[in-house]
Structure formats: C-alpha cells, structure tokens
Amino acid sequence: MSNIGHIIVCDEVFNSPNGEVIIKQPLNMIFTPILPTHYSFVIAIGLINLKPTVRYIAVVKVTSPSGKLLLKNDIEFDIGNEDTAEFTAAGGYNINCRNVLLDEFGDYIISVEIDKERNQLILPVVKKED
C-alpha cells in the first residue's frame, strides 16, 4: 500500500492561526535568466496509510539533470501507538532547501523513498527569456 501521498515544491509552508497548513506558491518549474544561480524552495511531503509501531525511514534526494546529487535528507520516525490520542495514519513534513546551487537547465528530480516505495517529482529549470 502506498505511503507517499504528495510531493509539492513551493516557496513556503506554514500553519495558519487556526492550524491549517498553507502551501504558498506551488512551483511547476523554475525560471531563471542565468546559470549558475542559487535558489531557495520548500519540499512538502505528505504521508498516508502509516501503521502504528512501525519505524519508518524516509529519504529525500534532489538530483540535477546530469545526475549530480544536490541534496539528501534522511529522517527516521514513527507515528505512535493507535491507543493514544496522538495516533494518526497520515502526516507529513517539510524540507527547507536554502540556496541550492542550480548550474544547468533541464529536469531536476526530487525523489522520496519510504520503506522501499519510491516516488518522484520532475522540476524543470528553464531559461527565462527577456
């Protein structure tokens, strides 16, 4: 059963005063007039169908069009016991990527792997024409 609900690249993720998660300015692609450049973004990851008492390991990677690893984030977590008030079968987390060096145009790959399941998002970086 799938555990990865979504992968969204955006400018920012925050909680509203009433507790809602706000995903600000989702990105379908990045436009830049020149390379190399540094770019900041957030990767929002949604997880579903999680089981209590299971220890999960999630690995997020960002790779360039030529296959160079730009970022790797590992996180190990569990969701608690289903008999407690904290139990939930879904959740998520965000990775703040600051000043990532983009040095080539093309399709960057953002991959998420959790317990042998892998999903990916393609994020094109394209030249912004004047």
Q: Which of 1-5, 59-63, 87-91, 115-119 has the highest mean pLDDT?
A: 59-63
Q: What is the CATH number of the domain that holds 98?
A: 2.60.40.1930
pLDDT for position 88 = 60
| Residue 73, C-beta contacts closer than 8 angstroms, at least 6 positions apart | 59, 60, 61, 95
Report whether 44 contacts 23 (CB < 8 A). Answer: yes
Q: 33 phi and psi, to 5 degrees?
A: -75, -25
pLDDT for position 84 = 60
In this structure, what token pair is assigned to residue 41?
């973004």
Instruction: State the pTM of this model.
Output: 0.89
Domains: count for the chain: 1
- For residue 128, the 8-state DSSP code is P
Domain span holding position 85: 4-127
- pLDDT one-digit tens code per residue, 65-101: 999 999 999 999 887 766 665 556 778 899 999 999 9
